[in-house]
């Protein structure tokens, strides 16, 4: 499946990555991409990987479920922990809240440790949000379009683990060519009444 709506973001991300690729260690952008691919492959080697989305979009789910490649460029791999409610799909420009923990896969490759950060386990931190499919808001670049992709297939009340290569991640990850694995849970309402629309 082609992520054509991301083409402008990808071009901007590529330009940004090239401009930031002159790291202290002198690695080229191609070197960083190779490192990213190696880190992702190392992580995925611990799981079954299916290189296509099921034709009926009925995914295996649970802690032992495979990772499904969900784009042609191999930038996103999704493990469905819970598929949510089948008919509870997001609609274009709908405000969706999410909670997440993310794990740096380059660090995992070096250490074999998944050290996470995010707002999943701290209810004092507001839930974050995006407008589904809307690439024009700052939230699209702040969190990356990759995290929206599971909602094309699953209910808003789903939970997934999502491997996101830098090109579909937040703008800072594009620049640094860092892949992450996200644990994501989506909601129509924030966990606390004080959460605001983070556009």
Q: What is the pLDDT of residues 15-29, one digit of tens each?
A: 344 334 344 468 899
What does the pLDDT look like over 75-110, one tens digit per residue?
Answer: 999 999 999 998 899 999 999 999 999 999 999 999
**pTM for the model:** 0.81
CB 171 within 8 A of CB 14: no
Q: How confident is the model at residue 37 (pLDDT cuts 50, 70, 90)?
A: very high
Cα–Cα dist 7/57, whole Å? 24
CB 73 within 8 A of CB 3: yes
Describe the chain by its helix, strand, coil percentages, rounded to 5: 30, 20, 45
| Predicted pLDDT of residue 88 | 93
Has residue 123 got a pLDDT over 90?
no
Q: List, in order, residues 6 or more apart from 7 with CB less than 8 Å away.
A: none
| Predicted pLDDT of residue 85 | 93
| Predicted pLDDT of residue 191 | 55
Cα–Cα dist 80/63, whole Å? 8
Average pLDDT over residues 26-34: 91
Q: How confident is the model at residue 53 (pLDDT cuts 50, 70, 90)?
A: very high
What does the pLDDT look like over 134-193, one tens digit per residue?
Answer: 988 887 888 899 999 999 999 999 999 999 999 999 888 888 899 999 999 999 987 553
Q: List, in order, residues 6 or more apart from 27 with CB less than 8 Å away.
A: 21, 35
């Amino acid at each position: 499946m082609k992520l054509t709506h991301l083409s402008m973001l990808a071009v901007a991300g590529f330009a940004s990555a090239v401009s930031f690729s002159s790291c202290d260690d002198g690695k080229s952008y191609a070197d960083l991409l190779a490192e990213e691919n190696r880190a992702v492959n190392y992580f995925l080697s611990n799981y079954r990987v299916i290189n296509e989305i099921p034709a009926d979009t009925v995914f295996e789910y649970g802690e032992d479920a495979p990772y499904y490649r969900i784009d042609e460029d191999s930038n996103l791999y999704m493990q469905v922990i819970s598929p949510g409610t089948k008919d509870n799909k997001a609609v274009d420009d709908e405000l969706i809240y999410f909670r997440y923990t993310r794990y740096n896969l380059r660090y995992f490759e070096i250490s074999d440790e998944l050290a996470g950060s995010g707002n999943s386990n701290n209810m004092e931190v507001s839930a974050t949000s995006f407008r589904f499919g809307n690439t024009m808001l700052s939230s699209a670049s702040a969190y990356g379009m990759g995290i929206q992709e599971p909602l094309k297939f699953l209910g808003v009340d789903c939970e997934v683990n999502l491997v996101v290569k830098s090109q579909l991640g937040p703008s800072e990850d594009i620049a640094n060519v860092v892949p992450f694995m996200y644990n994501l849970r989506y909601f129509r309402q924030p966990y606390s009444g004080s959460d605001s629309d983070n556009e």
